[in-house]
């Protein structure tokens, strides 16, 4: 009787110990994904290591990486100048580009300006009324306006199914709350072509908490890199076999 009691109580203690250890492990994992200690979870890579178009010579980037450019100076919510150089270089051989979140339309304009003449850029943003302003877009009236298709909708109602594997480059920079980052990321992963790129903006740690956490979680399923000196996270879809 005593032996049975001892065995049972030892078992209970062992199970409790295992559960406690699991809980500690689970919390540690969660803190890691929240970037609460240690380096950020997504591996940081220099752009010249990421893709040969950013290769450095003795005197810096190659002239092949020149782009047509206007600076971020006084552009609300825009991407940085170095980020512009990176994404416009990725656009140079992209024939189909999709942007979640048009903002002022300045990045849209630059993507159109730096992509091949036959390229088509689709950009999706909330209807003007929901954005709280009667906006115009930067690209309107420009030489490249004809390359751009503007869509006005909430990205949760946007149907990506007809555009599966249709885009060489997808830029995710729309709603920044968890459910929207998850929605847009899942759709982007369906929409990118084999060998194409997805770029997310605003991987900035706790400052943009939901983007940070969703991307950290996603990095456990797909191979993401954080491009050094930018707030970009990049994914290159495996090429077609």
Ligand X SMILES: C[S@@+](CC[C@H](N)C(=O)[O-])C[C@H]1O[C@@H](n2cnc3c(N)ncnc32)[C@H](O)[C@@H]1O
Residue of the chain from 160, 174, 216, 224 that contacts ligand X (CB under 6 A): 174
CA dist., res. 83 & res. 111, Å (int)? 12
How far apart are CB 155 and ligand X at their closest, in Å? Answer: 4
Instruction: Say whether residue 113 binds ligand X (CB under 6 A).
Output: no
Binding of residue 126 to ligand X (CB under 6 A): yes
Shortest distance in whole angstroms from residue 110 CB to ligand X:
9
Query: Considering only residues 53, 70, 145, 154, which one is a binding residue for ligand X as defined by CB under 6 A?
Result: 154
- Identify the residue among 175, 212, 218, 233 touching ligand X (CB under 6 A): 175
Tokens 């001892």 appear where?
6
Closest CB to ligand X: residue number: 103
Judged by DSSP in three states, 59 sits in coil
Examine residue 173 and tell whether it contacts ligand X (CB under 6 A): yes
Q: Contact between 78 and ligand X (CB under 6 A)? A: yes
- How far apart CA 215 and CA 170 sit, in angstroms, is 15
Helices (H) and strands (E) in the chain, counts: 7, 10
- CA 65 – CA 215 distance, rounded (Å): 28
Closer to ligand X at the Cβ: 79 or 169?
79
- How many other CB atoms are there within 10 angstroms of residue 32's CB atom? 15
Q: Which stretch binds ligand X (CB under 6 A): 19-27, 29-37, 103-111, 216-224?
A: 103-111
* Size of residue set near ligand X by CB under 6 A: 20
Residue 191 to residue 214: CA distance in whole angstroms: 18
| 160 touches ligand X (CB under 6 A) | no
For 39, phi then psi, to 5°, come to -65, 160
């Amino acid at each position: 009787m005593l032996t049975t009691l001892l065995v049972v109580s030892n078992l209970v203690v062992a199970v409790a110990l295992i559960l406690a250890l699991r809980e500690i492990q689970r919390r540690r994992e969660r803190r890691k994904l929240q970037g609460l200690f240690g380096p950020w979870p997504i591996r940081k890579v220099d752009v010249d290591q990421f893709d040969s178009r950013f290769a450095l010579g003795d005197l810096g980037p190659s002239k092949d990486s020149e782009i047509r450019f206007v600076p971020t100076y006084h552009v609300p919510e825009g991407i940085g100048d170095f980020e512009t150089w990176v994404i416009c270089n990725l656009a140079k051989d992209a024939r189909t580009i999709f942007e979640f979140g048009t903002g002022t339309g300045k990045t849209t304009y630059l993507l159109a300006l730096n992509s091949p003449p036959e390229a088509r850029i689709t950009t999706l943003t909330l209807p003007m009324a929901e954005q709280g302003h009667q906006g115009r877009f930067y690209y309107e009236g420009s030489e490249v306006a004809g390359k751009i298709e503007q869509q006005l909708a909430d990205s949760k109602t946007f149907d990506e199914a007809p555009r599966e594997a249709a885009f060489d480059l997808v830029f995710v920079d729309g709603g920044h709350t968890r459910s929207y980052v998850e929605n847009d990321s899942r759709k982007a992963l369906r929409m990118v072509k084999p060998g194409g790129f997805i770029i997310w903006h605003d991987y900035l740690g706790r400052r943009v908490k939901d983007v940070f956490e969703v991307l950290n979680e996603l990095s456990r399923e797909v191979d993401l890199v954080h491009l050094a000196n930018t707030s970009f996270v990049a994914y290159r879809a495996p090429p077609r076999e």
